Amino acid sequence: MDGHPALRGGQNPAYRSTRHPPLGPRAEPRYHSSLERGPPAAARKEPVLHLPYRELPLADPGEADQRSPGRYLLWLARHQWRPLGLASVFGVTWMLSQALLWSAVGAALDHGVIARSTPRLMEWVGVVLALGVVQAVSGAMRHQLAVTNWMWAAYRTVQLIGRHATVATTALVDEIPAGDVVNTVASDAMRIGGAFDVLPRFLGAVVAWVVVATILLSTSRQLGLVVLIGVPVLASLTTPLMRPLHAAQAAQREVAGRLASLAADTVAGLRILRGVGGEEVFLGTYRAQSERVRLAGNRVATPQAGLESGQVLLPAVLTALVTLLGARDVMAGTLAPGQLVAFFGYATFLTTPLRTVIEYSIATTRAYVGAGRVLRILAVAPPLPATDAARPWPASVTHYEDRASGLRLTTGGLYAIVTETPAAAAELADRLGRFVEDDDVTVDGVALGAFALDDVRAHVLVSEIEPRLFSGALRDELAPHGARGDDDLDAALAAASARDVVEGLAQGLDTWVSERGRSFSGGQRQRLTLARALLADPDLLILVEPTSGVDTHTEGRIAASLRAARAGRTTLVATTSPLLLAAVDHVLVILDGVVVAEGTHDELVRSSSRYRAIVLREEES
């Protein structure tokens, strides 16, 4: 989750060197929002989502209130109070127009039909028609704004998670399973948006209930009190179901997240599972977890079914009671027939506000649970602390140094390190790339931690041993945001000996890369990620075993072209390959974390038995 796991650092498209790199000049810097991938929509000529007030994704999602799930939801509401307010106005208008419709129908019956007055009848028919038009227009506007509010709340949440993932990097997936993070984006964020969808209708339901109760009280105190007291009493009957629903939904999300994580891990290691005959073991584990998800879903269904059935049963009870009392008043002569029709309509209409209140209760419960999951992600601290008053990156660097090991790299040199284990090389690469905090690494004598992390990422790139590719067009994978032209792409592919990979694709650079680049072999992925690293053209490029997955002939071609591709830049290769070691300017042997020998490959072969033991053993195997 740290940007490009296989392309760590150096990926800032806004960085531009002061001199032309060997692969061609960089494109002009472009700046995008935190989740935007690629050039602006106008340049891409792709459709973008236009909303009444702003465009998604948001340029800045803001800093969330993380004190509690409720405060987070209120924070979201404050950031979109205008569309929420406007949607609430239309929601109230929509509900009231439905409620008053019955009053107009009753008046038409009493003053037009029973009084046998055609003019009055037509007058009230016109009122009914006008209320219908108002209902249609306000309903359409309310729905449009409801979707807008849903999307803004949901996608602001998605952007917050995405932005935090780039800051928390590996600490996020170390603490929270990747499947849980994906479920939070795909499910919980949408549920949070759902609460903002229902909110305007809920407010309209409350206002409509007050207005209808007032009309009923002014017409018949008895019926008015029945409605005024009956609706909240009936709604309160669903309250005992809210707590078990909340708990059941939280438990269901937990086991569903574990299932998603299990599936993701299995897909990633499917070849290994098949190789060791572990399919049946996994299948049993997956079935057991699926059963837990099913049982958790059943536990959610029980209180939710009670709420859903309450939407039908409780309004029916209220309608029956109002109809009974109203009919008795008509028979007693204290209520006009038209008023009874209006009362019956009110009682029928009030089922809508009551159902809306119950729906809002369910949506808010889901949103509260989802907000808790979001805050769990946002609470994960990044592995590196923020640097206060960070120093600007030097205009020109003369050397990089790791004082703990004694490693010193002069700008423009092509270096290699040899270690006894890949873990030792990866540890040093992490320190040099500032993926762990270490004051021993310096740039021109200044601790690496004194510089802004964005500057470090723009100038120092670590390409790890396990190559990673992401879904999308291969062209965009190699040069994100269209920062390089076809000539640069071709030069980088040639230097990485990856031209044949692209030539073998039906659509060339426009070929769509499958998830994690699974359509490519390990060696092909390694060469493509090497080309991507060369295209990034950082001041310091650290390559960890860049040719471990390729054959000897391909490795030789890469070794021969690496110097020209990195002319004028500093490159450090962690490898035990004699072909690569013979191609660099200087080799450093690091044992137990300290440089114990250095020189050219030929010199070390002649003078260092430890070097021969490590390198020649690799050659013989």
- Letter for the amino acid at 459? H
CA proximity to 479, closest of 529, 515, 527, 524: 529
- On the question of pLDDT at 22 being above 50, the answer is no
Of 454 and 260, the one with more pLDDT: 454
Q: How many CB atoms lie within 10 A of CB 247?
A: 15
Q: With beta carbons less than 8 A apart as the criterion, state whether 55 and 124 touch.
A: no
In sequence order, the 6+-apart residues with CB closer than 8 A to the CB of 471 are 512, 513, 514, 515
Position 409 confidence tier, pLDDT thresholds 50, 70, 90: very high
Task: Indicate the pTM of the whole model.
Answer: 0.59
Yes or no: is domain 69-378 CATH 3.20.20.140?
Answer: no
- On the question of pLDDT at 15 being above 60, the answer is no
- On the question of pLDDT at 400 being above 90, the answer is yes
Q: Environment class of residue 278 by beta-carbon count within 10 Å: exposed (0-12), middle (13-18) or buried (19+)?
A: middle
User: What was the pLDDT predicted at 249?
Assistant: 65
- pLDDT tens readout for residues 169-202: 777 877 887 777 877 888 888 888 888 988 888 8
Domain ranges of the chain: 8-30+397-620, 69-378
Q: With beta carbons less than 8 A apart as the criterion, state whether 2 and 456 touch.
A: no
- On the question of pLDDT at 263 being above 70, the answer is no
Phi and psi (nearest 5°) for 157?
A: -65, -45
- pLDDT tens readout for residues 475-530: 888 887 767 787 888 898 899 888 888 888 888 888 888 777 777 888 888 888 89
Q: Which helix (H) or strand (E) holds 599?
A: strand 594-599
Q: Which helix (H) or strand (E) holds 591?
A: strand 586-591
In sequence order, the 6+-apart residues with CB closer than 8 A to the CB of 91 are 138, 142, 146, 200, 201, 202, 203, 204
User: What was the pLDDT predicted at 37?
Assistant: 35
Residue 179 is encoded by which pair of tokens?
Answer: 């499947």
- pLDDT tens readout for residues 94-143: 888 888 887 777 777 777 667 677 887 788 788 888 888 888 898 888 88
User: What was the pLDDT predicted at 460?
Assistant: 93
Position 277 confidence tier, pLDDT thresholds 50, 70, 90: low
CA proximity to 131, closest of 208, 223, 24, 51: 208
In sequence order, the 6+-apart residues with CB closer than 8 A to the CB of 67 are none
Position 584 confidence tier, pLDDT thresholds 50, 70, 90: very high
Give, to the nearest 10 degrees, the angle between helix 118-168 and helix 189-219: 150
User: What was the pLDDT predicted at 240?
Assistant: 65
User: What was the pLDDT predicted at 14?
Assistant: 33
User: What was the pLDDT predicted at 585?
Assistant: 92
- On the question of pLDDT at 48 being above 50, the answer is no
Over residues 283-298, mean pLDDT: 76
- On the question of pLDDT at 414 being above 90, the answer is yes
Q: With beta carbons less than 8 A apart as the criterion, state whether 192 and 76 touch.
A: yes
Position 266 confidence tier, pLDDT thresholds 50, 70, 90: low
Residue count of the chain: 621
CA proximity to 531, closest of 454, 456, 467: 467
- On the question of pLDDT at 29 being above 50, the answer is no
- On the question of pLDDT at 620 being above 60, the answer is no
- pLDDT tens readout for residues 528-582: 889 889 988 899 999 998 888 888 888 889 988 998 999 889 999 999 889 999 9
Of the listed ranges 157-161, 332-336, 451-455, the least confidently predicted one is 332-336
User: What was the pLDDT predicted at 276?
Assistant: 55
User: What was the pLDDT predicted at 503?
Assistant: 85
Residue 577 region, left (φ>0) first, then alpha (ψ -120 to 50), else beta?
A: beta
Residue 495 is encoded by which pair of tokens?
Answer: 């230097």
Over residues 39-44, mean pLDDT: 38
In sequence order, the 6+-apart residues with CB closer than 8 A to the CB of 158 are 35, 185, 189
User: What was the pLDDT predicted at 313?
Assistant: 74
- On the question of pLDDT at 11 being above 50, the answer is no
CA proximity to 465, closest of 6, 78, 111: 6
User: What was the pLDDT predicted at 413?
Assistant: 92
- pLDDT tens readout for residues 364-387: 888 898 888 899 988 888 877 666
Percentage with pLDDT > 70 across the chain: 77
- On the question of pLDDT at 2 being above 50, the answer is no
CATH numeric code, 8-30+397-620: 3.40.50.300
Average pLDDT, the chain: 77
Position 416 confidence tier, pLDDT thresholds 50, 70, 90: very high
CA proximity to 318, closest of 432, 212, 425: 212
Position 415 confidence tier, pLDDT thresholds 50, 70, 90: very high
Cα angle vertex 243, ends 237, 246, to 5°?
125
User: What was the pLDDT predicted at 513?
Assistant: 80
Position 50 confidence tier, pLDDT thresholds 50, 70, 90: very low
Q: With beta carbons less than 8 A apart as the criterion, state whether 381 and 83 touch.
A: no
Residue 503 is encoded by which pair of tokens?
Answer: 């030539």
User: What was the pLDDT predicted at 184?
Assistant: 81
Q: Quick check: helix, strand or coil at residue 545? A: coil
- The tally of CA atoms less than 13 A away on the side-chain side of residue 34 is 18
In sequence order, the 6+-apart residues with CB closer than 8 A to the CB of 89 are none
User: What was the pLDDT predicted at 571?
Assistant: 93
CA proximity to 533, closest of 503, 500, 504, 572: 572
